[in-house]
């Protein structure tokens, strides 16, 4: 997961087992960019998140992420936009300078 293609096409789907892996059924939930589908996944309750699969693809590649891997994607700095400013802030530092400006 070194190079994540956040703006490529992705599908969020629920995979249910019927009897065997050959009888698995995929129910399409949503489609959009990988970034949008991670956000859509996070909007669901933990019970609804279980059993979901995220499939992202480009011209010559396809990646699949299960529920745990999607949660790992959501924690990545490229997704959250957080690069450690609050983690490295010293107590008593001016936190107003670290806040995002309202637009």
Which residue's entry shows tokens 């790992």? 72
- For all residues of the chain together, what is the average pLDDT? 79
Q: What is the pLDDT of residue 1?
A: 45
Number of Cβ atoms within 10 Å of the Cβ of 90 = 5
Q: Contact 35/41 with Cβ under 8 angstroms?
A: no
Residues 62-94 pLDDT 10s: 999 999 999 999 988 777 665 544 445 555 555
Percent of the chain with pLDDT over 70: 68
Closest C-alpha among 45, 64, 69 to residue 54? 64
Angle at CA of residue 19, ends 13 and 23, nearest 5°:
50
Which residue's entry shows tokens 């939930």? 29
């Amino acid at each position: 997961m070194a190079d994540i293609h956040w703006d490529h096409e992705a599908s969020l789907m629920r995979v249910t087992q019927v009897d065997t892996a050959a009888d698995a059924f995929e129910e399409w939930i949503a489609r959009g960019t990988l970034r949008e589908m991670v956000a859509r996944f996070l909007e669901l309750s933990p019970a609804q998140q279980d059993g979901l699969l995220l499939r992202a693809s480009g011209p010559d590649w396809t990646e699949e992420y299960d529920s745990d891997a999607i949660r790992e994607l959501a924690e990545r700095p490229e997704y959250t936009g957080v690069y450690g400013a609050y983690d490295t802030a010293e107590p008593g530092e001016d936190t107003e300078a670290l806040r995002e400006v309202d637009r």
